[in-house]
Structure formats: structure tokens, C-alpha cells
Structure 1
Amino acid sequence: MSDADEVREFHYRLPHRAAGPRPGSHPGSSLGAGQEFVSHMSLYDRPDPRRLDLRASLRSTTGDWLVRVNRQRVGVTVQVLVDVSASMGFGARRRKLDVAADFVESLAHSAFRIGDALGMLAFDQRERAELCVPATLSRGLGSVMADSLRQCTSAPGGIEGLEDALQQLVGREALVFLVSDFHWPLERLGGALDLLSHAFVVPVIVWDPAETEPPPHDAIAPLRDAESGVRRTLFMRPKLRTQWRDAVAARRAELDAFLSARDLRPFFIHGAFDAEAMSDYFFEATA
């Protein structure tokens, strides 16, 4: 995203109450100075005369002075976990990693606007500690994160660093965006999601149009596996294009089924990030 482009924010919210001591924009589970009325309590049990409810006190059969007890809104910790393995460096016009950087920049802008702390972790065949950003609330955080991803390079390899990166999130309540093309075995994904059992996880699947749609014309197509570097040459013909599209549809159905079995719904990015579509994703999740 160039400096001339406007960073688009999106609106997100958790589908459940969050716990936390820091005031924010999300419905909280703790009692405090909020606007959501819960019940009345005796002034002696909750000595806060600012919340005194005279009408309720006069109606009280026990003769107690009653105060209003509300739930407070809280801020949550948001973590974005980015796959920077070699396959994320693929893209016909722009790398998938650059598209992921656009998303991270929009996320940082959105989190700052509602007062949530944002952190970033990254992985390929190892945890990329140089890309790690501790969760903090900062106006300029998005550009720093996005620029580090745009300048990132990865050697061919796997995603062995995923579980190492996740160790920092184990047992913590957070909103976690897992950004990847998910071109890896689902067994490894299952183990990763088990480590995030306390978090609300949004799988963000980044695919490039050049990998989901085959070339339109019959021709010899040289192909290279982004992870292993293995090269192949195929003669593109109608039957092969049909098999290509069927394989993409089957992989998407496989991901949808695997994630829905864990009560997760993926968000797909094809070529460019759409902030409005992400807002719609959260509105549907919390409807």
C-alpha cells in the first residue's frame, strides 16, 4: 500500500464478553463504570454513592440504600500471526505477503481507533523473532509492522516455527488473526489451533488469483513449487484447467469443513484486502 493510498479501517467485535482491567469498546464480563445495567446492590456492599438510585431505594422492601451496578466495556489484546514462508512470497502482480501487510496495516489502524493493544508474531521454518512486535497501543504501529513484512524475505522451507511462535499466546485470552495461504498439512493446523483454545481465532486465508485460476490459453506452462523450489512443465489444456479449478474448490471445501468443525469461519482474501468485507465477517459472526 503506497503512502498515497488511504488505510481503510474495519469494525470488529468479539462474539462473547471479554475479561480485562483496561476500559475499551468491547462488552466486558466485569463490573465497573459502564452503561449496561446489571442489578442493584446495597450501598454498604458496594460503597459508590455516585451510583445511588433513589427511586429503587424508596421501593426497596428492605429499606436499604441501593446503587446501580453496571458492566464495564473493556479493551482486548489483538495478536496477528503471519506466515512469512516461501509460498507467501508468490504473487502474479503482488506477493501474498504484501497483501498480508495491507491487512496488518488496516488492522493496526482499526485497533488503535477503538483502543485495543496490537502485537505481531511471524513464522516460517522458524519463529521470526526480528518481526515480533509486543502488544501495544500506538498510532504509528501499523506502518512499522506492514513495512517489516513488505521488506521480509524467506528461504524455501516449511512452517516449523509456527508452534514456537504460538508458545507466546498459550493460555491467553485474545483476538488472534492467523494470516497464511494455508498451503500446509491440516494436521499441523489442528495442533496450532489447540494451543489457541483460550483465544478467538480468525483464520485469514490469502490466495493469489494466479494460483486459483489457471492460464486461459493452451500453452506450455513452466511451474515452480514456492516451498520446495521443484520445477515442472505442464501443457495447459482444457482438461487440466478443469482439474486445476476442481483442486482449488476441493481445498477450499476441505479448509471450510476442517475449521467449521472447530467452530471457526475463515476469511478469504483473493488478490487484495477488502476492509468492508472484513467488517461484514464480524457482523455475521456476532449476529
Structure 2
Amino acid sequence: MQSQPARVHAAFEPRQFFYNIHWRSRTYHAGANLTSHHGNGSDFAGFANLLACPDPKRIDIRASVRTVPQQWLVRTYLERAAVRVFAIVDVSSSMLFQGEANMRQQVTEFVTALAWSANRQGDVFGMAAANDDVQSSWQILPTFQTGTAQVVAEKITRYWQSNHAVSGRNASAIPAAIEEIGAQRALVFLISDFYWDTALLQQTLKAAQAHDVIPVVLRDQSATEGMPAFGWARLRDMESGEERSWMLRKHLHQQIGAHLVQQKHMLNSQFMKAGTRSPLWLAPQWQAEEISRHLMETMA
């Protein structure tokens, strides 16, 4: 009887990108981010009196002899700690559009990579999603657990498989999903196509004002481009489910193009006013190096 060859499974290893923060973490779990806690770190904070910080190993003689009146000074250091990283995902009907780019696959790959990257940097990762309701099937409470990225990929894939043709859903519960994060500051990746009305956008940004927000914008050009130059077309709003016939002509194409440019400027302006980071416009074939560069350049 011949033995069957062993089946080798490819290792689960999503793309990894890097991020940084310009604020001090308030957690006490060891990590890579600077805090305001004095302890056994390696980042010099200043000097303290030996009586206030009784650690003879860190006495600085040169600094001590310069004091008037003379006293023993010790060097103090800041600890490094983890931060909370969250993915808040818009799963309204427009996010199910599939044209040249598969937005569902983009979301799956990016959020999985974010969970993987947070885990590799020693940070806490949590996830939530919403359309008109907060989706409990997406929820991952903040965790340090290894293997979180694989759980994320499985959860998202199962959701897409059971909700691949849902129409008439908006993103009105996104602010509620953000509020579930809590008041403690976190790094929040807000992932959507942002085809929202101004009221929802402002409500969402107000709910997220306590956090360090990175808007991640997904757009499929085939949703608005590639239409016939002339003739009748039946267009459907995926979120409202409303269909309407349009007579396509050159002037209408120009109006659509101008509206897209205007909406992009409006989005950037609203994000800037709310104090978020510069939005990340996620390309269909995104590269981890490009994501890292954007996040590092816009951390301040």
C-alpha cells in the first residue's frame, strides 16, 4: 500500500505595513509607542531627585555636581506601550459594487493586513462594521491574541458570502460603531467609499474626534466611468435601490466628472477641518510599501 504524500498548506501571512503615532499612549501594556509613563524604558525624559526616584544605578554625577544646592540627580526614562488600533468598516450597499476592482476583496485584504501589522507591532486590534445597523458578525473586541488576522479574514469572508447582493442599505450606523470604541484615544482606520451625505460625514467625524483617524477611501472607477458616450442608460443607486433612466450625452459626462472632482475636494476639506490625517485613497493593487510611506508621512 503506497503512502499518500503529505499535503503542505501555504503559511498564512498577509502583507505588513507600518504606522506611527504623534501622541503618547496611555496604556500600560508593553509595546513600541512612546508614553508619558516614567519607568524602565530607553527614551530619556530628564532628571529627578534621588529621593523622588530612588534608583542609584541611574545617578548622573555630572548633572548632580552642577546643582545648587547640590543634590543627587538620577536620569529618568519613558516607557513604551501598545496602542489600540481599530478598523471601522462601512458595509453599506455601495461597498458591494463590483466592477474593474473587487471592493469586497480590497476590504478583506486591507483589514486582514491591518490586523496582522498591529499584531506584529505589539498593538491591540479591534474591528467593527456597520450599514444601517452595527454588524455583530464583524465585531472583534480589542485583543493582543496572535492569529487575530486569520480570524478577521474568516469573519469578513463569511459575511461577504452571505451578504453579496444586499441593496438599499446606507451607512447610518457608522457613528454608533465608532462610539463603541470608547473614550480612550485609539488609532482608527475608517474604511469606506464615502458616498455619504454631508450630515452623516459630519456626524461620523464628530463621533471620532477623540481619536487619531485615518480615512481609507475605496473607489471603483468603473462605477462612474466607461459609460456609453451617447444613448439611454439605466442607472441604479445601490444604497437607495432607486433606478432611473438617463439620456447620456457629452454634457452629462462632463457634469459627472466635475461632480466627482468636487466631491473629492469636499471630502479632503471636511477631513482637514475635523483634524483627521490625510485620507488614504486605496488603489486596487495596493502595495504595503506605499501604505507605510503614506502613514509615516502623515502621522503629524
TM-score, scaled relative to structure 1: 0.89
| Alignment-derived partner of residue 282 in structure 1 | 295
Whether the 8 Å contact between 1:26 and 1:75 is mirrored in structure 2 is yes
Q: 103, 121, 133: which one pairs with 1:126?
A: 133
| Alignment-derived partner of residue 138 in structure 1 | 145
> Shift of residue 263 of structure 1?
2.2
3-state SS of paired residue (2:52): coil
> Shift of residue 169 of structure 1?
2.1
Unaligned runs of 5+ in 1: none
> Shift of residue 217 of structure 1?
5.5
1:73 aligned onto 2:80: yes
| Alignment-derived partner of residue 256 in structure 1 | 268
Seen in structure 2, the aligned counterparts of structure 1 residues 116 and 146 have a Cα distance that, compared at 3 Å, is same
Q: 164, 186, 205: which one pairs with 2:176?
A: 164
Q: Percent identity?
A: 31
3-state SS of paired residue (1:270): coil
Seen in structure 2, the aligned counterparts of structure 1 residues 52 and 201 have a Cα distance that, compared at 3 Å, is same
* Matched ranges for 1:77-116 at <5 A: 77-116=84-123
| Alignment-derived partner of residue 24 in structure 1 | 31
> Shift of residue 160 of structure 1?
2.6
| Alignment-derived partner of residue 13 in structure 1 | 20
> Shift of residue 227 of structure 1?
0.9
TM-score, scaled relative to structure 2: 0.86
Seen in structure 2, the aligned counterparts of structure 1 residues 90 and 37 have a Cα distance that, compared at 3 Å, is same
| Alignment-derived partner of residue 245 in structure 1 | 257
Q: Distance in 1 between matches of 2:274 and 2:125?
A: 25
CA RMSD, 1 decimal: 2.3
3-state SS of paired residue (2:48): strand
1:230 aligned onto 2:237: no
Q: Which moved more, 1:102-111 or 1:273-282?
A: 273-282
Q: 195, 218, 229: which one pairs with 1:206?
A: 218
Q: What CA deviation, in whole Å up to 9, does each residue of 1:30-67 have, x standing for no partner?
A: 22222221211122111123323344334444443321
3-state SS of paired residue (1:245): helix
Whether the 8 Å contact between 1:46 and 1:67 is mirrored in structure 2 is yes
> Shift of residue 221 of structure 1?
3.8
1:40 aligned onto 2:41: no
3-state SS of paired residue (2:255): helix
| Alignment-derived partner of residue 3 in structure 2 | none
Work out which of the two has the higher radius of gyration on C-alpha atoms and give 1 or 2: 2
Q: Distance in 1 between matches of 2:224 and 2:30?
A: 43
Q: What CA deviation, in whole Å up to 9, does each residue of 1:121-159 have, x standing for no partner?
A: 110110111210001113321122133223322452222
Q: What CA deviation, in whole Å up to 9, does each residue of 1:105-133 have, x standing for no partner?
A: 11111111110010001101101112100
Letter in 1 for 2:283: H
